[in-house]
Structure 1
Amino acid sequence: MHTFFKTTVLTALVSMLCTSVSADEWKLAKDEDGVKVYTRSVEGSKYKAYRGVVTIKATPERIEQLQEDTTNSCKWLYRCQQLKVLKHQGQDSWTYMRIEMPWPVAARDVVLHIKTEQAGTGGFIRYLKGEPTYTPPADGYVRVSSFEGKWQVLPKAAGTVEVTYEAQSEPGGSIPSWLANSFVVDAPFNTLQGLRKAAESR
């Protein structure tokens, strides 16, 4: 019995430690206007991952509708210059996006394979994975060489949803450190602000 008690306590302590370490991986970089942005370093990369979280007065269906409207979603996606669907197959789709950059940095383009899964709570998760060789890069654009991310939309109380946007990428070419550091905060912050405005403006 004594051994069982010690084992239980040890297991609980290890669990608490692991949870603490996991929580410390993400560091709060911005908390403004109801949007929280976290960043963390990624082993083997000089570019940080980012995570943005916001609560929106909307249903999961409304968010899904806005995301699938590629013509208008480019208006609230940060620095989106062009967005179009290349292929749609079941719960999978492939999209092409052009991303404008401040001078003198070259604009980027990226092909994303998006897989949508329904969450048990009535929400959904979209997993994003870059496929840089799916199409040739366009003239005047640098192809994003790697991209991993996800959208998570979960219903909450009183007709709201919690939206999480998370990603990490290797943008290809050369990016000044000041731009890289600002992008990982500005991208989720402005994107989620724009999505919330679009979702709540009807």
Structure 2
Amino acid sequence: MSDQTVTIPDDRAFASFESECLCEEGWTIKYNKEGLTVWTQRLEEGKSVHKFKCRMVCKEVSAETMYDVLHDTEYRRKWDTNVIETFDIGKLTVNADVGYYSWNCPPPLKNRDVITLRSWLPIGKDYIIMNYSVKHTRYPPKKDMVRAVSIQTGYLIQCQGPKSCYLTYLAQVDPRGSLPKWVVNKSSQLLAPRAMRKINKACLKYSDWKQRHNPGFKPWLYPEQTTLPSIPLSELSIQHAESLENIDESSLADTQEREDSD
């Protein structure tokens, strides 16, 4: 990916992402408990970019099921309690599309949204799903949201047998704003582990749910099933963080955390 032109990731881009998911040099462990580890990486002082990585051992979950769950937008609306709105905008190739996602941030921060070019690739029995931010003229930033920037975000799913896998989540994101230190700490030590365990829990329930909701429809496996309109790359441009509003939320204090209903 160049700084200006939107491109579809090639094999080298996938290999680079996989390598970074597996590398532990230069990363600092912030959480390590019950088969789940969270690392952060210190970036340039004064920069608002945050980079962290989570890896979880998923028992009783196959790599194939994990791959389906992370792709299934309809199912995400059910299990992802942070999602405000998510939808696919259009397809680029058989393994690349463009989508919208908005999510709730910890109060009292403003909620965020993002437009991303997502691509995916099976590698033997393993899988990669990754994305980066793009701009589309039909989906400009909203007044009640902060448009965040995904520099590179995604998942590596490693098969460990018929009913076991490793899930690694790697995120390099600019949330557009000077965030208070408690947000960074809370994200690595509480929110990220909770989100990973929620994915694992969703996988355990997916088979039963999918049997009742269009069980044969999996366009990420069968591209001929897709109903998305084709989008030419010329309609997209790179989303540079510098072109977006930067807000200062560094002085906001943490509010009393609400317990999850589940």
* TM band (smaller chain): 0.7 to 0.9
Question: Which residues of structure 1 form unaligned runs of 5+?
Answer: 1-21
After TM superposition, give the deviation of residue 99 of structure 1 in Å: 1.4
CA distance in 2: counterparts of 1:184 and 1:112, whole angstroms: 23
Does the alignment pair 1:189 with 2:193?
yes
CA distance in 2: counterparts of 1:95 and 1:173, whole angstroms: 23
Corresponding residue of 2:144 = 140
Does the alignment pair 1:43 with 2:47?
no
CA distance in 1: counterparts of 2:100 and 2:181, whole angstroms: 26
After TM superposition, give the deviation of residue 133 of structure 1 in Å: 5.0
Does the alignment pair 1:131 with 2:156?
no
- For residue 24 of structure 2, give the secondary structure of its aligned residue in structure 1: helix
Once the two structures are superposed, the pairs formed by residues 1-202 of structure 1 within 5 Å of their partners are: 23-43=24-44, 45-56=47-58, 57-77=60-80, 79-89=82-92, 90-120=94-124, 122-133=125-136, 135-157=139-161, 159-201=163-205
- For residue 25 of structure 1, give the secondary structure of its aligned residue in structure 2: coil
Q: Which amino acid aligns with 1:141?
A: M
Q: Is the 8 A contact 2:102 2:111 kept in 1?
A: yes
Corresponding residue of 2:3 = none
CA distance in 1: counterparts of 2:108 and 2:192, whole angstroms: 23
Taking every aligned residue pair, what percent have the same amino acid on both sides?
19
- For residue 89 of structure 2, give the secondary structure of its aligned residue in structure 1: strand
After TM superposition, give the deviation of residue 62 of structure 1 in Å: 0.9
Q: Is the 8 A contact 1:39 1:185 kept in 2?
A: no
Corresponding residue of 1:12 = none
After TM superposition, give the deviation of residue 158 of structure 1 in Å: 5.3
After TM superposition, give the deviation of residue 75 of structure 1 in Å: 4.6
Aligned pair in 2 of structure 1 residues 67, 145: CA closer, same or farther (>3 Å)? closer
- For residue 177 of structure 2, give the secondary structure of its aligned residue in structure 1: coil
CA distance in 1: counterparts of 2:182 and 2:55, whole angstroms: 23
Aligned pair in 2 of structure 1 residues 149, 185: CA closer, same or farther (>3 Å)? farther
Aligned pair in 2 of structure 1 residues 179, 74: CA closer, same or farther (>3 Å)? farther
Aligned pair in 2 of structure 1 residues 165, 111: CA closer, same or farther (>3 Å)? same
Moved more, 176-185 or 139-148: 176-185
CA distance in 1: counterparts of 2:182 and 2:26, whole angstroms: 22
Question: Which residues of structure 2 form unaligned runs of 5+?
Answer: 1-22, 209-262
Q: Is the 8 A contact 1:87 1:95 kept in 2?
A: yes
Deviation string, structure 1 residues 35-80 (Cα, Å, up to 9, x no partner): 1111111236344311111122222221122122213224544732
- For residue 131 of structure 1, give the secondary structure of its aligned residue in structure 2: strand
CA distance in 2: counterparts of 1:42 and 1:165, whole angstroms: 18
How many residues matched? 180
CA distance in 2: counterparts of 1:33 and 1:23, whole angstroms: 19
Q: Which amino acid aligns with 2:130?
A: Y
Aligned pair in 2 of structure 1 residues 51, 97: CA closer, same or farther (>3 Å)? same
Aligned pair in 2 of structure 1 residues 132, 145: CA closer, same or farther (>3 Å)? farther
Aligned pair in 2 of structure 1 residues 51, 61: CA closer, same or farther (>3 Å)? same
CA distance in 2: counterparts of 1:110 and 1:39, whole angstroms: 22
After TM superposition, give the deviation of residue 107 of structure 1 in Å: 0.9
